[in-house]
Structure 1
């Protein structure tokens, strides 16, 4: 089938923005979901307002779904959209999940299981941790303190560029007959946070150290940023799982789907060096 129009939730987020640009570049119309419609091409969509789901799906062939981030029990909120999309869309529902969340597990794991069991055409992207975390949530402490905080210990992570996730998402949306099911996405190498800190230091030309926290201390740090306690505990627990080896694997999925190798952390840092330098010079 030819996919002419795709609903992209999280359209201003890390993967959604990149995906929307990719789709437009391939001649596919994007219905960019947003709480407030401000320009052409946007459609109103709000997870807290199920009445917005049906209009957002009008004229859409496929959907890219990013879960709400203000809760740990996403499926009850997401299920009404999934039910509508599974019934109405000729193309695929593509869900962004995480490598650390198996089907039936917490958070997006339950949504993954629902799609597997009920949706006629679906794909679940399970990427490892984003390289963009270093230019996003970790950036203030890297710049301000020369520190990268985690509870990962010596655990290794195959950090992945969000642009590679978007490229796989585009393929899953536009060619669902070829790219479907569960897709575990990683970068080309698994690194400890010590090694990541060293790579950042080399790229920006100033010291950066990995500061090791306990899982509880990291959860408290997240709570101090305003995250709900249960969400902070879950995120910190993921770091604890990394310390036990949960993310220590490499897949060839990005290469298999896109025909090119995934971006290395060194290449990503070189390309995004100004994100650090402009604020440290």
Structure 2
């Protein structure tokens, strides 16, 4: 079994033939892969330019974060047969991409998942610049039920699109609701007179929004800060008004980077903490991952 530590796209089942980095490549044409559901036999056929190419076939899998290649067989012809491919494995395959080489260096094919691999054809439909005459940041965006978008981040501005910052030369959480064309429907500032950042936002089942980040404030919209910087979770209604807010943490630094609504109507928050008191019941060392379930 060969072992390689480079990154690849991983799928539930792959067949890959690994080319030598010194090889000269020739394109393969008319590649076909036919699976017999009765026997589990996979027949792969192709045409290629060049002569004397040896195709070495490997199965590829991921174990504990490491990519492994397991040798299956090889051929110098225009086809290869693999036996005992299950229906589940076959359903995960499509679009085989192939390269060939001259001589006896390695080359071959890859069987990928049932999602067509195409050249990028995306084009910009629209783009919007949001903010004022100072630093403005977006860290999270989600499409909303009305086809628009909700954006969350932070701003140091207090002009342009930005009106209502709580502090002077400090950041507020900034939440912006856009329509489907990127036009601002409403925008809200959340925080106090110190720095407040939003790193994650999600639309909730009631049509409102849940926001998570951190706060250094203990005034304005913020109550209950435990120390230097707390995780800050804010529930908004559908037009951005605060329904409730909660500071989480201890007397040191606590940050939330992701939040999701859970199936029981509560919320799960993930971030990090340096605290060992307050809401933090166990301390390991340095910055610890901190996961909090709210209900």
Q: Tell me if both proteins adopt one fold, taking TM over 0.5 as the criterion.
A: no
Q: Which has the higher strand share?
A: 2
- For normalisation by structure 1, the TM-score amounts to 0.24
Answer 1 or 2: which has greater helix percent.
1
- The structure whose RCO (Cα within 8 Å, separation 6+) is larger is 1
- When Rg is computed on C-alpha atoms for both structures, the one with the higher figure is 2
